[in-house]
Amino acid sequence: MQWGLLSVFSTLGSLVAFGINFNASNLQVPMSVYIVFVLLMASAFFVAAFSIVPPAQVRRRDGTPAAHYPHEGLWEEMKRQRLLLKDWRLLAMFIPMFASEVPIIVLSSLNSLYFNIRTRSLNSLMFNVMQIVGAIWIGLMLDNWKIASRRTRGMVTVTAVAVVVIAGWIGLTVWLYRNPMDLLDPPLFDWTDGPFGGFFVLNLIFGMNMVIYQVTVQWIISSFTNDPEHLARLAGLVKGVLAGGVAAAFGTEAAGLTQLQVVAYNFTIQAVGLVLMAVMAWTCVTRTSCTTEESVSPPAEVQTNLGKDMEKDDQAS
C-alpha cells in the first residue's frame, strides 16, 4: 500500500515533467518543473498534519488495540536501538538492505548520459509507472493466502524476484556492450533512435526491481516481530542502511568507473542479497509471533485459529 501510493504520486510528478519537457529542445530543466515538485512535496506536510492519529488510538476491525504503548525515555530507546545491531538476523540482512535501491542510481545515470531531455522524461515516467505495477504484483505475491505457509510464500516470492532482477542486470550488461559511450561526447538519443527500444524495456524491468526487491526485504525483516515499536526501529534501520547503499552506488559513479564496472558492482550486491534473502526466508520466517510478544495484542481471529490448530494437534496426538 505504502509503495503503491508513493509510486502513484511519483508518477504524477513525472507526468508533469514529461508534459513540460515534451517539446524541449535544450538540455536545461525548466524552472517550472522545480516549482511544481516543491509544491507537491510541501503539500505532504498538510496531509500528514490532518491524517496521522496517535498510535494508541489505532484499532483493528474487531476493536482490539494493535499493541500496548508504554512510555520509554530517550536513554531506553537508544539502548534498544543498539540491541538491533546484536540481532544476527538483521546482520544477515545487511547486504539485502544495502542493495535495495541501487537500480535508481544506475538507471538515472544512464538515462542522463544517453538520452535527450524529453526521452529522459519519458523514461522517468515509465520507471515510476512500473513501480505501481511492481507494488501491486509484489503485494499479491506476499499476501497470497492460497499459499498458506508464510515461509513458502516468502521462498516463492524471492524466486520470482530473482528472475526479474537477474534478467534486468544481464540485459543491461548486453545493452551497454552494444552501445558504448564517450563521456565527452554523449549520444543524447531520442525515442525515435534505435538504441532507445532496448533501454526502454530494461527501464521497465528496473522500475519493478526498485519496488519488488525492497518490499521483499522489508517483508522478511518485518516477519521477525509484530511489536509496532520494534517495527518502527527496524524501519529506521532499513532506511539508514538503504541510504548507505545509495551513497555507495553514487560513489562508484563518482570514482570514474566505467558504466559496465558500475553495473557489475550493483549486480553483484543485489545477487548476493537475493541468496541471503532466500536463506532468511527459509530459516527465520515463521507463521506469526504476535502470541509470543507481551506488547502485542493478538487479533481475535488469530487467537481463534491458533486455538483450533492446537485442538487439531491434540486430537492427532
The predicted structure's pLDDT at residue 197: 93
Judge contact between 258 and 71, C-beta under 8 A. Answer: no
Highest mean pLDDT out of 52-56, 213-217, 284-288: 213-217
152-209: per-residue pLDDT in tens? Answer: 999 999 999 999 999 999 999 999 999 988 877 888 888 999 899 999 999 999 999 9
All residues at 6 or more sequence positions from 301 whose CB lies less than 8 Å from its CB, including other chains: 62
**∠ CA 226-230-234 to the nearest 5 degrees?**
105
The pTM is what?
0.81
Q: Which residues of 214-228 are buried (b: 16+ CB within 10 A; e: fewer)?
A: bbbbbbbbebbbbbb
- Does residue 291 surpass a pLDDT of 80? no
Confidence tier at 39 by pLDDT (50, 70, 90): confident
Higher-pLDDT residue of 77 and 280 is 280
DSSP assignments along 199-262, one per residue: HHHHHHHHHHHHHHHHHHHHHHHHTT---HHHHHHHHHHHHHHHHHHHHHHHHHHHTT--HHHH
Whether the predicted pLDDT of 300 surpasses 50: yes
Give the model confidence (pLDDT) of 81-132 as tens digits. 888 888 899 999 999 999 999 999 999 899 989 998 888 888 998 998 999 8
pLDDT digits (tens, 9 = 90+) for 253-271: 888 888 999 999 999 999 9
